[in-house]
Every structure is written in C-alpha cells, then in structure tokens.
Amino acid sequence: MQARGMRTHLIQSRELFGPPDRQAEILECQKRNEGLFDEYTHPEGRPTFTELFALCKPDHLNILANSDLYFKLDGAQWLTYVFGRYTDAARAQRVFALSRWDVDSEGVEMLWNNGDSQDVWVIYGGPHEIDAPYPMGVPGCDNALIHALRQAGFEVSNPSKTIRSYHLHLSNYRSYLDGGTGQGRGGVKIERVPPPYGFCPPSEL
C-alpha cells in the first residue's frame, strides 16, 4: 500500500532513564519499528516539539512518536497509502494526531479512546513555523499542540481506529511523577502545558 516515491521518516527519541525494565521497553519499541520506515532519527534525551519539528525532512512523511510506541507493518503501510492519495496541497496541510493502543501483559490491545491524548504525530514536510517549546509526554502538551496547529491552518485528525500504534508500558514508570518531571533538554521543569487547548477524538478513515 506504500505510495510510490513517498519516503517515510520516523523520529523517536531515545529517552533512556528510569528503572531497567522501563529502559528495556523503550529499546524494544525501537527494535520493533526497525524495517518499517525508510529513515530513522533517534534524538537523545527529551527534545521539545520545536526541536522535533526541526528534524522533519522536506518531501518526507515524518512520523513523530513517543519513545514507548511501536507500529506493525499494516499501520506503517496505512500511513503512506492515505497520505499518498492526497493532492500536494492537501498533504501539506494535513496532520494525523494518533491516540495509542495500550497492550497489557496478556497481549490484549485496547484503544485509548479519548480526545485529549495523542502519542504519534504524522506530518508531511514539517510545521517549522510552529513554536512548541515543550516535550512529548508532558500533561497538556497534546492539547496545546493541536490548538497551535489548527490556528496555523493545519487540518488535524485522529484516525487511530484505523491506523494503530502500540504502547508498551508494563513497567508503569512515569517520568513526570518523579524528579524528571516534564523536563526538556534545557532542564526547565514543566508541570502542565497551559491552555488554550484543542481536542481530537479517535475516528476511522
């Protein structure tokens, strides 16, 4: 289903801190994503969205994913198939903000069916004009980013009922609950990204 000539670029931070079982989950996600995309960038630490957007490549379908997310082949193929069907103008203004599918210890998959949480951002080219000085995973970051994207004229949707990304987080460790609370590379602690907010509930294609 991959569109001819469209290259994919996964941007996924290598956020290795916390207990060993948490670090193992992050490395496992990166391993499972190998071979599904054309190019990979793994910035160290916890970059802000502004820093992640700067890594987006022109003429590529850029997929920005939380460090504990992985895809399967059908999900990666859906992305290129759908974006490949848009006109050039429509593709440049389209953003997918995908909610995750949680996977429990028994392998049961369940959609996080809520409009205020997204774990994957899919953008052709890149919204380099967006200033989003907060990292992924901080409370309120998804809502603030959706609002900023829409204000800039992007059409944001969440077809996560069709395009699945999987969340590996059995360790239950969360960095924003300890001394690493919401820190970007600058070491500035962010409790919650403030409003204004936008929301984007899961839907089907």
> Measuring CA to CA, which residue among 198, 97, 85 is closest to residue 156?
97
- pLDDT tens-digit series, residues 56-75: 999 999 999 999 999 999 99
Q: What is the pTM of this model?
A: 0.90
Q: Evaluate if residue 184 carries a pLDDT over 60.
A: no
> Measuring CA to CA, which residue among 138, 72, 66 is closest to residue 97?
66
Task: Please give the Cα distance from 96 to 134 (Å, whole number).
Answer: 19
Sign of the CA dihedral running 98, 67, 134, 94: negative
Domains and CATH numbers, the chain: 7-177 (3.90.550)
Task: Please give the Cα distance from 77 to 16 (Å, whole number).
Answer: 28
Mean per-residue pLDDT over the chain, rounded: 89
